[in-house]
Every structure is written in structure tokens, then in C-alpha cells.
Amino acid sequence: MGPQKDSKKKMKRNNKKKMMNTKIKKANIAPVDTKSIDSDWWEIFWTKNSTNPGLDVPNSEEEGFKYFFRMSKTTFEYICSLVREDLISRPPSGLINIEGRLLSVEKQVAIALRRLASGESQVSVGAAFGVGQSTVSQVTWRFIEAMEDRARHHLNWPDSSRMEKIKSGFEESFGIPNCCGAIDATHIVMTLPAVETSDAWCDQEKNYSMFLQGVVDNEMRFLDIVTGWPGGMTVSRLLKFSSLYKLCGGNDRLNGNVKFLSNGAQIREYILGDACYPLLPWLITPYQGNIDLNAPEWNFIKVHESARSVAAKALSQLKGGWRILNKVMWRPDKSKLPSIILVCCLLHNIMIDCRDGLQPDVSLSGHHDSGYVAQSCKQVDQTGIIMRETLTNYLQCMKEASS
């Protein structure tokens, strides 16, 4: 028994020593020398890239910053504050550049934003910052993961108070009452390795693609998105797979105040969609077929299209501002692509929330789904028909009253 006790005592002493040594080692880690962090990254980047003959960079540094990263320095600093805790580099395993200095949080954010904004290859982005391709890959993914956790509050379904402001915004801008948003969908085109190709991912234009569907408010802010579904499905089927469809169909969304119209009618909450979507009590689509230009239905079509176009414009801004979504993505990991799409939507919303307008030439000049032919959905709901007729009559009364 004696030797066993001694052995146990010795083991305890050794374990205690190891713990003490570990504590001492941790305590002896020197604080990071600020000179070892590349805090001068912007000056170096600007000097290197502002006169690139292949780019039409503005002369002013302030505008140049926005050209490269899509946002002002103030918004950039806000994004850095969101992800700082997740991206801070610490020795000895922290991310470093080719000069052996630790990558600052600001430089990591800049690398990720440039990759998302330009859609250029990781090699090209790395060359612009003086880092390798693998660093760009690692930094960008760390940024995406951090943004998913830290910036989610910039994309959520409005509470009743905020929804009332959205409805007022649509009515003031377009004259359409009790409208809560507009919906549209777009394809994110990609190439896939032969082993991953299937008819499900091959869309109507013979591209491999992933869908993004978004509901936006009157300021083109995303309120709800669904992505990850193959581009080979129809838009109406995509809608039916979304949580939005289940929530609205179950009366958990778009169930707020009924509006009493000036002509004595009443109208529930709803969103607007194009002819690709089914006509539902909460999703109002335009009339189809030949319509007399003097008919009330034609007036409805014009107002509907004007208000619904905010969704198409939002997707054009999204894919124009974050060009990684507009270029053909080379063999993306389909399990990670939805996260990239979500973060681009979060960045789009942050720009709006920070009142940081995009440069005029950023939005796509054409349609966000250029080359795709719209497919009409024939599904109609009887209550949806009544809703649309109520809106048509009201808008016609308003037109006549103003003429």
C-alpha cells in the first residue's frame, strides 16, 4: 500500500507542476507589439492599386476607398467592430502577410470585402494585398462565419411598428395601400465538377445555379431571404419550399392591421410579386393576357409594377455591389455558398441602415437575371382574386379623383 501511495503523491506533484508550468507559459506570452501588426495596410494598398491601369479608380482617397470596398470608411469601421473579436490575430499562429507581420482586423475585413465586391480570383485579390491565395481563402471564410453570427440583426422580419412604417412608405411612394414588401428571385450561376452535376442544379438556361429569393421593403432592404435551393426548380416551387410560404399561409406573418380604404373597402396585409408567383391572399401578382390600356386593370398593372420593381432593383444592387454573386462561381462548395449569399445580403442591408449609398455605376445596368425568360405561374387563389380586384377598384378611384 505504501509504494502505491507514494506513486499517487508523485503523480499529483507532477500534474501540479505541469499545470503551474502551463500557467507560467501563458502568463509569459508577451503582448502583441503593435509594430508587428500591419496597421498601415490602407496606405500600402492605395499606393499599389490606385494607379492600376486596368481600373478606373477615383482620384480622391475617400472615393477610392468606396470604389474598392463598396462602402465609406465609417461603415467599414462599424463592420470591423462587429467581427473584431472573431478575427483578431494572435501569435504564434495568427495570420501573417509576406513581411511576417500579423494581419490586422481591418486588413482581414478589407481582403474579404474586396473578394466579395470584385468577384476576382483569390490570387488576384491576394496580389493586391500582398498575401497568398490560401490566406485570402482563409480570411474570407473567417469573415463570412463572423458576419453570420454578429450581423444577423440587420436582416429580420419587421415588428408591427416597423411594418407600419414600411406600409406608409409604399403608399407614399407608389399610392398602393397596406403593402408590406415585394418579392423576387435570382439565379447565382456556377460551374460544378462532373461528379456533382445533376438535372436539379441545371436551370432553364442550361446553367448550373442556386436560387436566391428575397422579400424587400420600400427602401430595398431585405426582410427575408431563402437560398440553397437548386436553380432547376420553378420560382413558384421555390416559394412553396420557403418558410415564408408556411408562415404566411399559417397566418403567422402578414396578419397585422386590416386597412379600411377611402372607397369603403378593406384590405389585408400582402406583398407584391411578378407573374412567376402564384396569386394568393397575401401575395398579389399582376393581371396576365391582353388588357385594354384604358381599363382599371391596366392602371393596376402600372402601379403594381412600379412598386414591385423595388425587389428587382434590390437584387440588381446586390449583384452589382457584391459581384461575386454576379460572376460565374468556379466550383463553389454548395454547402458554403448559402452563407456567402447571406453575408452579401447582410452587407447590402448594413449599407442601407448606415445610409451609405452605393456609387451610381455599381448597380447592374441590365436585369439581375439577364438571359432568363420569366415563366408564368397559373395558380390562383379565389381570395387572392378578390384582393386584387379590391386593390384595382381602389387605385382606379384614386386615379379618377386626382384627374
CB of 207 closer than 8 Å to CB of 230 = no
84 and 120 housed in the same domain: yes
134 and 169 housed in the same domain: no
Q: For residue 3, is pLDDT > 50?
A: no
Say how many domains are in the chain: 2
232 and 381 housed in the same domain: yes
Q: Is residue 12 part of a domain?
A: no
pTM: 0.89
Q: Is residue 343 part of a domain?
A: yes
Q: Is residue 5 part of a domain?
A: no
Final residue in a domain of this structure, among 119, 150, 181? 150
CB of 299 closer than 8 Å to CB of 388 = no
Q: Is residue 96 part of a domain?
A: yes
242 and 291 housed in the same domain: yes
Distance, in Å, from the CA atom of 375 to the CA atom of 388, rounded to the nearest integer, reads: 20
94 and 200 housed in the same domain: no
* Contacts of 98 by beta carbon, 8 Å cutoff, 6+ apart: 130, 131, 132
Query: Please, which residues bridge with residue 191 across strands?
Result: 330
Q: Is residue 277 part of a domain?
A: yes
133 and 162 housed in the same domain: no
Share of the chain above pLDDT 90, in %: 76
Q: For residue 247, is pLDDT > 70?
A: yes
Distance, in Å, from the CA atom of 190 to the CA atom of 346, rounded to the nearest integer, reads: 21
What is the three-class DSSP state of 86? helix
Domain span including residue 259: 154-402
Q: What is the DSSP string of 191-251?
A: E--GGG--TTTB-TTS-EEEEEEEEE-TTS-EEEEEEEEETTS-HHHHHHHSHHHHHHHTT
Q: Is residue 57 part of a domain?
A: yes
Final residue in a domain of this structure, among 103, 123, 150? 150
Query: Please, which residues bridge with residue 184 across strands?
Result: 214
Q: Is residue 13 part of a domain?
A: no
The C-alpha cell 480570411 sits at 139
145 and 162 housed in the same domain: no
201 and 350 housed in the same domain: yes
Distance, in Å, from the CA atom of 110 to the CA atom of 48, rounded to the nearest integer, reads: 15
Weakest mean pLDDT among 137-146, 193-202, 333-342: 193-202
The model's pLDDT over 119-172, given as tens digits with 9 standing for 90+, comes to: 999 999 999 999 999 999 999 999 999 999 999 999 999 999 999 999 999 999
